[in-house]
Each structure stands twice: as structure tokens, then as C-alpha cells.
Amino acid sequence: MQRARFDPLRLAPDVRELLAAMAGSGEPPLESLPLEARRAAYRQIGARLGGEPLPVREVRELLADGPAGKIPLRLYLPDQTAGVLCGVTVYLHGGGWTLGDLDSHDKICRRLVRASGCGVVSVDYRLAPEHPAPAGPEDVLAAIRWLARHAKSLGLDPERIAVAGDSAGGSLSAVACQRLRGEVPLRAQVLFYPSTDLSPAAQDFPSRCENGAVPPLTLELMHALSSPFMDGFDTTDTRLSPLREPDLRDLPPALIVTAECDVLRDDGRYYRDALRSAGVPVEFVEIPGMVHGFVEMAGVLPAAVDAIERAGAYLGERIGR
């Protein structure tokens, strides 16, 4: 597939300014860095561009039982009346299944707590290349099962659990809804520019051609991140490609947020269409002029603040008091 020439004027003015500053910083592109340096550089995106960490009532470090040992979790609790169980969103960070951790998305989780009035639990699932597929997805499923069992002891309502995530974390959120259907009563899913198809069929998505050269997630970087995760695994497996799931009936209602100038734009569009065809209620928002990863940049992009606020309102309606 021949890559289309991208017109920078499609970008929102503040995004153009930000990308120009990043290009002029002299920092090497992520795809050129060795793994540990790439992870450190990715962590700095939220540190530099995510704004101030908003205060929440309490933050606790937890450990859930997982298929290969303990899974670190971070629980954020909202202001609320003592003794009242609160709804909770399980947040799954992005990073292409190879980057990201509890710290890289700390500011997003704090914003989501404030916007929703509900608790948030962030999951430090295993990453590739040390742990290729299906390690990460299986950790996520185990963590949600553990949370459902222990929710009340943590001040959380086991009947009011939602999932949310960005990019790879959006994919993992979709996977969790599919795999835990009928087992854990998930009430909602929020998917920020999710990856929904890692199979060869996705190479023909128009956004792969239109936006393949648009930073920060170029096609080159996308392949560099996802290849270690997919290593030797069937890419049509729905733990990697939730869009390939043939039966999407009875899944939780969804809010899907995409970015117009994102290589993964059509992953979100097509998953929206598939969910709606299966009778699942979907709210869909595509942000003009935005790029992949923008919700991590709430300190410099007002659209990121708006998107998280909208997600918080959506979750508050479904798992709030």
C-alpha cells in the first residue's frame, strides 16, 4: 500500500506547534532507541506534557493474583462519604504492549477520578518483548477478576465496574469486555483511539495510508512496538484483534474517542460500526486535527482535557452513585 502524502494543515494549530517543537528538540525518534531508553522516553511524555498531577483523596499500591505471579495495581479513590462503596474504572495504559506503566499514566488516572467521581484502578500488566502475547491480556483479565472479588474490602462496588484505556490499553479494554462477558458485570467501556486489529487485514485500513507518517505514532513506530508483542502468535486471535470477534452481542455500552490524524483512527471507527451492528450502544467522538496519544498531553492540549472530562462524565453516569 502506497502511503499518502499528509497535509500538515489538517493538524490542529496547537498540535502543529507541539510537533514542531518535538521535531526541533534534537531528541531521537522513539523507534530509533533501544528498549529501556524508549521506555524512559515514553514515560517523559506524560511527565512533560500531562500537566500537574491532580489531587485525589487517596492512592494505594496493591497486588493482584496473576497467572505468572503478582500484578501491581494502583488504586485512586475519590472524595466521597465514608462507608459508601464507589464505582470503579479499571484503567489500562497504552504504549504498544511494550511501553508504559503505572507512572506513565498516573496523571490521566487522576483526571479520570476527578471527572467521574469514581475510583480508578490502574493495571501494570506484563509487557513485551520480555512477555509476548498473550501475557498482557491474560494479566488484565486476572486483575479484573481479582478486583471483582476484593472490591468491597477496598471500598468499591463490585456491581459498578467499568474499563477504560488508550491505544493498546483500549485494545485490552475491548478484550476484557469480550472475555469477561457473563462473568464480571462490566457496566461500560471507554476506548481512547484503540488498536482493534493487528491482523494482516488491517494493513488496508485507509488511516494506515493517510496517517502513517504522522507522529508521534508512525507506521514504523507502530510496527516496532507491536511486533515483539505479536511474536509467533496468531494475530487474528481476539486477544490481539478484538475487531475479529464474530459475536459482539451483550457487551457493555461504549464511548470510543478517536483522533482524525491518527494511524489507528479506523480501528476505532470500525469497532464502533461492529458494536453498533451487534446492538451495543456506542457514543463516538472523533477529535478533528488531533494525533495519536493526545490524551497523555492534557497539560498542553485543551482537547485532551475535554476528552477526559467527557469520558469521566460518561463513566459517572454509568458507575457513579
DSSP string of 161-174, one letter each residue: EEEEEETHHHHHHH
Inform me whether the pLDDT recorded for 81 exceeds 90.
no
Over the stretch 32-63, which tens digit does the pLDDT of each residue have?
999 999 999 999 999 999 999 999 999 999 99
Q: How far is CA 270 from the centre of its chain?
A: 17
Q: Which residues pair with 273 in a beta bridge?
A: none
Q: What does the pLDDT look like over 261-302, one tens digit per residue?
A: 999 999 999 999 999 999 999 999 999 999 999 999 999 999
114: CB partners within 8 A, 6+ apart: 54, 56, 78, 312
Cα–Cα distance measured from residue 119 to residue 54, given in angstroms and rounded to the nearest whole number: 14
Q: What 3-state DSSP class applies to 218?
A: coil
Q: Which three cell numbers stand for residue 126?
A: 506484563
Centre a 10 Å sphere on the Cβ of residue 178 and count the other Cβ atoms it contains.
16
C-alpha cell at 64: 493482584
**Residues with Cβ within 8 Å of residue 131, at least 6 apart in sequence:** 68
CA distance 9 to 139: 41
Band (pLDDT 50/70/90 cuts) for residue 3 is low
CA distances from 27 to 2, 22, 32 (A): 28, 8, 10
Average pLDDT of the chain to the nearest whole number: 96
Evaluate whether 12 touches 289 at the Cβ level (below 8 Å). Answer: yes
Q: Name beta bridge partners: 122.
A: 74, 91
Of 5-14, 210-219, 269-278, minimum mean pLDDT range: 5-14
User: Does the structure show a pLDDT above 80 at 1?
Assistant: no
Element (H, E) at 59: strand 58-66
> For residues 123, 127, 130 and 134, what is the CA-based torsion angle, rounded to 10 degrees?
90
**Using the 8-state DSSP alphabet, how is residue 23 labeled?**
H
Q: Where are the domains of the chain?
A: 14-319
Whether residue 2 has pLDDT greater than 80: no
Helix orientation angle between 106-116 and 35-49, rounded to the nearest 10 degrees: 40
Residue 84 backbone phi and psi in degrees, to 5 = -100, 125
Own/partner long-range contacts of 27-32 (Cβ < 8 Å, ≥24 apart): 29/215, 29/221, 30/216, 30/221, 30/224, 31/218, 31/220, 31/221, 31/224
Catalytic residue list: 167, 262, 292
Whole-model pTM? Answer: 0.97
- Whether the bond between 252 and the residue before it is cis, its omega within 30 degrees of 0, is no
Contact 319, 88 (CB under 8 A): yes
Pairing of strands 186-192, 156-166: parallel
**Nearest-CA neighbor of 167 among 224, 217, 223, 208?**
217
Q: Could you name the CATH architecture of 14-319?
A: 3-Layer(aba) Sandwich (3.40)
Whole-angstrom Cα distance, residue 274 to residue 189? 15
What percent of the chain stands above pLDDT 70?
98
